[in-house]
Structure formats: structure tokens, C-alpha cells
Amino acid sequence: MQATSQTEQSDQRKGDQAEGGARLASEGGQPIRTTPFPSVGDISGRRIDEAEIEAVAAVLRSGKLNRTAGTVTTEFENAFGKLYGIEHVVASTSGTSAIHVAVAAINPSPGDEIITTGLSDAGTVLPILAQNAVPVFADVLPDSGALDPESVRSKITDRTKAIIAVHLYGAPARVEELREIADEHGIYLIEDCAQAYLTETASGKLAGTVGHLGCFSLQQSKHITAGDGGLTITADDELGRRARLFTDKGWPRDTNERTHLFLGLNYRMTEVHAAIGLAQLAKLEQIVADRRRTAEQLAEVVNALPGLKTVPVKGASWWIFPIFVDESAAGADANTYSKHLAAEGVGFGAGYIQTPLYLTPVLAESHTYGDSGFPITEAKSQYVRGLCPVTEDLINGGKMLVFSWNENFTDADVADIAAAITKVHTAVTS
């Protein structure tokens, strides 16, 4: 049985070679890859070692697990602030809470509007609703999926309080332009940097430092992780103080008063999460450097294939490796590429999310507070298909491939990914 199997495999390889190695695995050819890639879902794709273990053990040995008793969370905040060159860093329980902290810091009134993107995780939008503000959706740029500044400009009304820009995939959004728009209208710019540690913007600044506030996530899949956790940064003293108070029930512990200055929540990060985050932070620069090195290798291959291109390499920190597909030149759409690549053992997904955020039930059907629909009752009619055509085209039009990038990819891993993409491209354009 084993000899027969080996003979069949040999015959198959010879058949592939006779066709120039172009027979797709989805059509009976040999796949490029038969072993898993490093994944952020387990230790193969995470840089977790004795440093994190010892850091957690030290906290446990101290018996001080809450930040009000310990000092590690403050140390983590200070270290992050030093890396980013920014004074105020507020640790919280998740990336979503970090955005909620930022929204609370700007103190919108009920019904105020915050402009953002429909092409993101719901964690970008739900904090807007949680603070009783109304999400307004602007469209994105077709070559990056980032907010289109001109679309943002067209959505501004006298109720607009802020813009939330997302540095999608770890690529820089046009935050310099968005900051100009924000300043022109006297509104705030919040940067969602959950996917964008050490991403550099067009001006050379770090993502998160161009806007009034920046928000980061320590969730399992991010560049660095504590399992969950968030960080909100700002250079503004007033915003920084309000952000910190909001994470601790509005309690001004720095004045030794047991009182509550405004409505806040308990979003305090634990000392255990901070200890892991601090150990991970020491590895961040190398993690991003390694992601950049390997992603740039693949980008060179992808951008040389007609009809395929990735985001501009400059400044990206590569949380995800996206490929934008022009079907007319690439020979097939992203859905077809995804099917063939999966068979080759290289699992690119077609599209980042399944539906624009404004078409999810929480918004389209106003599932918020009881049956009230508050605060989006009046805006409900806005959340309809066709609201943001480019966003919808990227999601549903078969124009985007995504692959989770990883700092532990080897040159051989990248070579396999490149070979699979080239093989599929050759086959569908022949």
C-alpha cells in the first residue's frame, strides 16, 4: 500500500512538471504547502517565553494583583509612553475599552455624531453607542480600505463630535489629512491602532500620535498580547486625566478623595495583564522589524503580478497582509483566488469582514437599550445597503484577499506563500 501511494505521488509530480508545475491543487495537482504556518492562535506564532512566565509569577508572589495595590500597571504605562514619546497612557481591559475610554474622554452629549468606517471590527463602533453617541459611516479608499478624507468631510454636520480612523491591517490611514479636517471643524480625531503598533504615518509620526487620542489592543492576535487589554494615549492633559478617571469610576485617587466626579466604569487593567504586557513590550520593536522584513519580501512578488497589489509598504507594521485584486488583470476575483490558495495550503481569506458594520443587527435594527433603539433611532434609515459603495465593493465584490501575518514566519514560509500566489496567478491568467 505504501509503495503504491509513493508511486502515485511520483506520477502526480511528474504530471505537474510536464505542465510546467502549473496544475492547481484544487484541480488535482500537488499543493505547495502541506504543513501549518505559525499562528497567533498558539505558541507557534507568539513570542512568549520565560520573561512572561517570571513576570506573572512575580506578581502572584507579591499578592498584589490589582493596580490599586501594585505598581506594574503604572510601570507598563510609563514604558509605553516612553516608547511613543507621549505623556499620558491609560491601561484598560481590552482594545474595545481603550476606544470607549477615548470616546468618554472627549465627552460627547447624547446624539452627538462620530464619523468612522464600516470596514473594521465592531470594537471600533460599539464604544460610540455605549457612550450614547451616533456612529456615522464614511466610505473608504479602494486601494487601502482606509477612511477616505473627502468622504469624511462630506459627513460632517453641526452634531459631529469626532472622527475615529482605523489603521487597518497595520497600514497607515491618512490621519494627517483627517487631523486637518478635524482642526478645521473643531472636532476630535481618535486613532484606532489595534492593528498598528509602531506603524509610521505619512509624516513619519507613529500611528496614535497624530490624532488627539490613540487606542491599542493587547488581544490574542495583536502584535503583542496579554490575552486581552488596551491602552489609550494622548498628549493632552485634560483628555489624559478624564481618560484615567473614566477607567476607575470617576474616582480621583490622586487627590485622596473617595468621590466620583462623573459617570465612569471600572476598566482597570490587572497587574497580571500588565506584567505580561510589559514583558511583551520589550520584544515589540523586533517583532515589527521581523514582520516588515518578511512582508516586504512577499510584497515585492505580489506587486509584480498584474492585477494584484498590496498596500504601500512604507510605514506598515503588517498585522494582516492584504492583497487587492483587479479581476480584469488578475484573471479571477478574490473569491476564486481564495479557493485555489486554500487548496495550495495557503489560506488567504476573501475579504476582511462579511458585512459592513452598519448592516449588522445592532445598527441596522437598532438593538441597543431595550426596545428604544437609542441613540440611533433617527439614524436608523441611514444604515442601509449602498451607504458606502467602496466599502461594500471591497467586502462583497471579490476584490480583497487577507492573510494573517506573523513575526515567526521564516524565509521558507514566505517562499511558499509567494509560490502559491504565483502558481494561482499563472493558472488563472493563462
**pLDDT at position 377, please?**
76
Enumerate the domain spans of the chain. 26-46+284-351+398-429, 50-283
Q: Tens of pLDDT along 132-156? A: 999 999 999 999 999 999 999 999 9
Please report the pLDDT score of residue 19 as a whole number: 42
**Domain spanning 26-46+284-351+398-429: CATH 3.30.450.40:** no
Query: How high is the pLDDT of residue 379?
Result: 61
Specify the pLDDT at position 295. Answer: 97
Name the helix (H) or strand (E) containing 6.
Answer: helix 2-18
Instruction: List, as one string, the DSSP characters of 134-192.
Output: EEEEE-B-TTT-SB-HHHHHHH--TTEEEEEEE-GGGPPP-HHHHHHHHHHHT-EEEEE
Alpha helices in 21-64 (DSSP H): 50-62
What DSSP character marks residue 195? T
The predicted pLDDT at position 429 comes to 95
Helix spans in 186-247 (H) = 237-246
- Intervals of the chain under pLDDT 70: 1-21, 378-380
The answer to whether the 26-46+284-351+398-429 and 50-283 domains have the same CATH topology is no
Q: Give 88's contacts (C-beta < 8 A, 6+ positions apart).
A: 81, 233, 234, 235, 236, 237, 239, 240, 241, 243, 244
CA 109 to chain centre: 28
50-283 architecture in CATH?
3-Layer(aba) Sandwich (3.40)
pTM (two decimals): 0.93
Q: Report pLDDT for 236.
A: 98
Largest CA distance in the chain: 80
